Amino acid sequence: MSKKNFLFTSESVSEGHPDKVSDRISDAVVDAFLAADPFSRVAVETLTTTNLIVLAGEVRGPASVNAALMEDIARHAVKDIGYEQDGFHWKNAQVQVHVHQQSADIAVGVDSAGDKDEGAGDQGIMFGYACNETPVLMPAPIYYAHEILKSLAEARHSGAQPLLGPDSKSQVTLEYRDGKPVRATSVVVSTQHDASLSQADVREIVRPHVLDVLPEGWMCPEETFYVNPTGRFVIGGPDGDCGLTGRKIIVDTYGGAAPHGGGAFSGKDPTKVDRSAAYASRYLAKNVVGAGLADKCVIQLSYAIGVSKPLSVYVDTYGTGRVDEDKLSKVLQELMDLSPRGIRTHLALNKPIYARTSAYGHFGRNPDADGGFSWEKLDLVDQLKRAF
């Protein structure tokens, strides 16, 4: 029997966190390739440290997206985040590009040919999850952790809080009673700041953002509201810690409230099922919960490199389901072709829509008019209701 009363914690990191700077650059490169050729193949990783940016990986796409353009893309991403600091500056940082052509051995297994459909770009397992704890059908701890940092970032970019820096982290612990979140027991926020601000100053800058995000009456006790608990956070970003693409996969997904397959998303084009199948499984799980068929739903998909159809489709509603799970699995596979090509077609993923996913979570976002976050749509709800 699952626990009903417990504490659960999730964390988020801002767009200026070193790993998120790396994710942003890698996804901006993906967007550049897809804008030039929607069928480009991209797997690009980024390392960031003190005034150094290194891109490495393999691609297959138009020659117009060359090393010089990738350097410009990296500098623009860093500038947009807001880094103009001595230790990490969009204009002064050294940028190295070590990107080469995709392996022919991988390409032959993935490409379609004759009667062979396009295969998965790698083996692996991917999970999608949804629950009815928040309006966007995301777990509450990660949802509020993201929203606090988004609020601080908006204040920084607007000029309302010019003394805050780009690098920040949050952590929210919620108390659950009878399986439902009821209040925060602790909130942690660490944010980079100008040297002129004291810890007390930063605390009062952060406080209204937390109060605005949390539901009324949910604020934690004063003694468990931790802001910059080390006392000082002036040196931050890649100057403080090395950043790498794909190192914040739990922040990117469900904050630990659901399983994770282990594959990162950023820097990969949508033929990579690490990314596209994780989006598809979230899409299906969200529509199951959105249709009222369950309060919680996790879906696992598994693939083999070069094979088009998933090896398994697993559905678990944690005892909250109102329909048979085996039938639900079959219906979901009838409503959506879960081959790599089928996922990309259904969700229209061959578009330059990925840089925007690189911070504040890939899930729980509003679908954009240009196709961004298409996996957050609830357009299967009516079909699922009819099927049951």
List the binding residues for L-methionine.
58, 102, 241, 272
Instruction: Extract the annotated binding site for Mg(2+).
Output: 19
- Element (DSSP H or E) covering residue 32: helix 18-36
DSSP, collapsed to helix, strand or coil, labels residue 16 as coil
Beta carbons of 175 and 216 less than 8 angstroms apart: no
Cα 270 from Cα 278, distance rounded (Å): 10
- Name the phi and psi angles at 227, rounded to 5: -125, 125
Instruction: Extract the annotated binding site.
Output: 17, 19, 45, 58, 102, 167-169, 232-233, 241, 247-248, 264, 268, 272
Based on the number of CB atoms within 10 Å of its own CB, is 209 exposed (0-12), middle (13-18) or buried (19 or more)? buried
Question: Look-up: residue for tokens 């953002």?
Answer: 209
- Name the phi and psi angles at 266, rounded to 5: -65, 145
Instruction: Extract the annotated binding site for ATP.
Output: 17, 167-169, 232-233, 241, 247-248, 264, 268
- Name the phi and psi angles at 28, rounded to 5: -65, -35
CA 32 centroid distance within chain: 19
Cα 230 from Cα 313, distance rounded (Å): 45
- Name the phi and psi angles at 216, rounded to 5: -55, 130
Beta carbons of 363 and 376 less than 8 angstroms apart: yes
Cα 268 from Cα 285, distance rounded (Å): 22
Closest among 140, 220, 144, 227 to 185, alpha carbons compared: 220
Cα 244 from Cα 47, distance rounded (Å): 5
Instruction: Extract the annotated binding site for K(+).
Output: 45
